[in-house]
Chains A and B, each alone.
Chain A
């Protein structure tokens, strides 16, 4: 039998087939396109959301700083001007001058710097030693001692404040009163009771645990005793933990009011760091302005405005933070490349 491929019905059938397959193909393509398009849109939206979130939050963080600067730079004349909200009409450093005098800036800044650096170095030394001991120099009963370290992290310093003060007034029965001398803060740092010392001991322990043991063994074979091993091999390798400890201890000591005001400033009003000074001044700003002989510089129109005192206070607050912010931006790169990524937090 002969088959006719070119019959009408066959041709119809063929065209229908190609049409439907084309249609089907096109649908597939559009579906794929749609999926890809949605995916792209989703990705773009996610990106926008991400940027929006991050930059908005960064702005929220910076907001008080910007606000404080804006307030600090305005002239006292502009206080009552409702048109001045952010950018002052007349730039002036008058507020800074007054705040300088009120804070006794030079002396307080020196105290702050010396105290923070001293405490940081002592704390770094003690915590690194203790952390190394807990990580590598094992002995019986050490786990119990490490439990004690965890206890020092958990127990807030306020818990032991009163008896501690009581024992410091008559230190070890010698009759010497240590309260009121900055020495007591250095002593705390050296005895591992400084600002959150327990956390740093824990950090160093975690870090040294992750350093390969072969390093130490080779040092020992080359004739190092543990103290030499510690200073020549382990510490140079512990950059991350050191940077983190230094930055956090420095910042926490700088911002600390608890230790300084409780153990030093209560008995010795002459010793003030920037932070304790402004904390002392903030409740009696008018009195402070009067005793600093700057009250008379302004007329009563300015003086009697409560916003004026809060403006001075605000300027003083930003003055206490400026050194810290400058130091932070100098070291922040090291903090993130060394401190976070290679610190012993994880391990």
Chain B
């Protein structure tokens, strides 16, 4: 430990005395303020002020105490030099704990914040900005030409790639499919979660199998199987197609509505796709069902509720918040798989960056609109249980 010289000590002593005087003056000022406020009529604002001033005075007195401790050390001539880290540590320790937490909170967020500030937010706003321009690369820089909403008009009126794929019709088809798929996926995953929740023979292995779709690479499987050898195999066995067709005819004979049957039978035909899209949702619902407190079921059984009632009034009611979550996740997930890549790539390769940006913005807006719609529809039906 290094020690100070005597003249240095004197200097420090003078400094600390000066600081102490300042603190005392401040404290006195606050005291007079408090006294003045106390004499006036009490209102809410004034009491708040008084409390704040009192807290300040407390802080001041603590600092004063520390300074006098330092003075004692100076008197004994045992004051030691500190390096900058120690000083910083001491300074940090003296900050009240609630404020320390704030500082740590910001430190913990730093990597994420940097990512947001230098990459995410600028890119996002640039995308919106570009969608109103005609942007084309010129060497290493970009050239801009303002066109207003011309990009969007072009998109809607007739943006065609590969000479047959129309942007607008594919967009409509995508949204239509999403709206049909969404309830099917949600109902299907609730059903599976309920079935998987109870123990049965081989439930560990079946549970494990039901999560496999999450690790499947769907495009790969679709490409290699339906496009190549798999097609050849199914052509030879033809079991799949026959099954769906026969069932369709059977229900048509029964006299059910044709549209409904088509939707349901399409869903049956695409059962593989639906299972593959609902892996995470099943996971969410299993977790949700397991978190329902057991005593609710017991109470319902004592009251004489049937299984049917228990299912609708307890299980479904308790997982409504997660139905909302799962629905939103489904929408986001299907938008991430949306067939916009081809359109964007086509626009980029033909150097129409502005057009590509407007495609992105359009998809984003539709995404937000659908999520908002789901939220608005389900918000009132969501039930939050409180112990």
Chain A contacts to B: CB under 8 angstroms: 50-51, 53-55, 57-58, 60-65, 67-68, 71, 82, 85, 126, 129-130, 132-134, 136-139, 142, 145, 148, 152-164, 166-167, 169-170, 172, 188, 190-193, 201, 220, 225-227, 230, 248, 251, 255, 257, 275, 278-279, 282, 307, 309-311, 313-314, 317, 320-321, 324-325, 328-329, 332-333, 335-336, 340-341, 343, 345-347
Contact with A85, one of B215, B233, B288 (Cβ below 8 angstroms) = B233
The dominant DSSP class at the A interface is helix
The answer, yes or no, to whether B96 is at the interface (CB within 8 Å) is no
Determine the chain A residues whose CB is within 8 A of the CB of B322 once the complex forms.
Answer: 345-346
Q: Which of B101, B224, B283, B344 contacts A310 (CB 8 A)?
A: B224
Q: Nearest chain-B residue to A309 (Cβ)?
A: B228
CA–CA, A310 and B225, complex, Å: 9
Are A61's CB and B213's CB within 8 A?
yes
What are the 5 A-B residue pairs with the smallest beta carbon separation, nearest first?
A: A191-B115, A310-B228, A137-B105, A163-B126, A192-B112
Q: Which of B32-40, B57-65, B116-124, B248-256 contacts A (4 or more CB under 8 A)?
A: B116-124
Give the residues in chain A near B336, CB-CB below 8 Å: 156-157
Residues of B within 8 A of A136 (CB): 101, 105
Q: CA of A278 to CA of B220 in the docked complex: distance in angstroms?
A: 8
B273-302, CB < 8 A from A: 275, 283-284, 286-288, 290-291
Determine if A172 and B118 form an interchain contact, defined as CB atoms under 8 angstroms apart.
yes
Question: Contact: A307 with B232, CB < 8 Å?
Answer: yes
Cross-chain contact B120 with A152 (CB below 8 angstroms): yes
- B88 smallest CB distance to A (angstroms): 13
By beta carbon, the residue of chain A nearest B101 is A137
| A/B interface sample: 16 pairs, CB < 8 A | A54-B195, A57-B275, A61-B212, A133-B109, A137-B102, A152-B116, A162-B360, A164-B123, A167-B123, A192-B112, A255-B217, A275-B220, A282-B224, A317-B220, A325-B215, A346-B288
Which B residues form the contact surface with A (CB < 8 A)? Answer: 97, 100-102, 104-106, 108-109, 111-116, 118-124, 126-127, 130, 140, 142, 192, 195-196, 200-201, 204, 206-217, 219-221, 223-225, 227-230, 232-233, 236-237, 271-272, 275, 283-284, 286-288, 290-291, 322, 332, 335-336, 338, 340-341, 344, 348, 353, 356-357, 360-361, 363-364, 367-368, 371
Complex Cα distance, B371 from A71, in Å, reads 42
B287 touches which one: A142, A313, A341 (CB < 8 A)? A341
Contact of B105 with A148 in the complex, beta carbons under 8 Å: no
In the complex, which residue of chain A has the Cβ closest to the Cβ of B129? Answer: A163
Complex Cα distance, B283 from A333, in Å, reads 14
Identify which of B100, B101, B220, B341 gathers the most chain A CB atoms within 10 Å of its CB.
B220
Instruction: List, in ascending order, chain B residues with CB within 8 A of A162's CB.
Output: 127, 130, 348, 353, 356-357, 360
Measured CB to CB, the closest approach of chain B to A65, in angstroms, equals 8
How long is the Cα–Cα vector from A34 to B19 in the complex, in angstroms? 95
Judge whether A191 and B114 touch: CB under 8 Å.
yes
B219 to chain A, nearest CB (A): 8
CB distance from B134 to the nearest CB of A (A): 14
Contacts of A170 in B (CB 8 A): 140
Least CB distance from B225 to A in Å reads 5
Tell me the minimal C-beta distance from A161 to chain B in angstroms: 7
Q: B318 CB to closest chain A CB, in angstroms? A: 10
Q: How far is the CA of A57 from the CA of B341 in the complex (A)?
A: 31
Interface centre among B108, B124, B126 (most CB of A within 10 A): B108
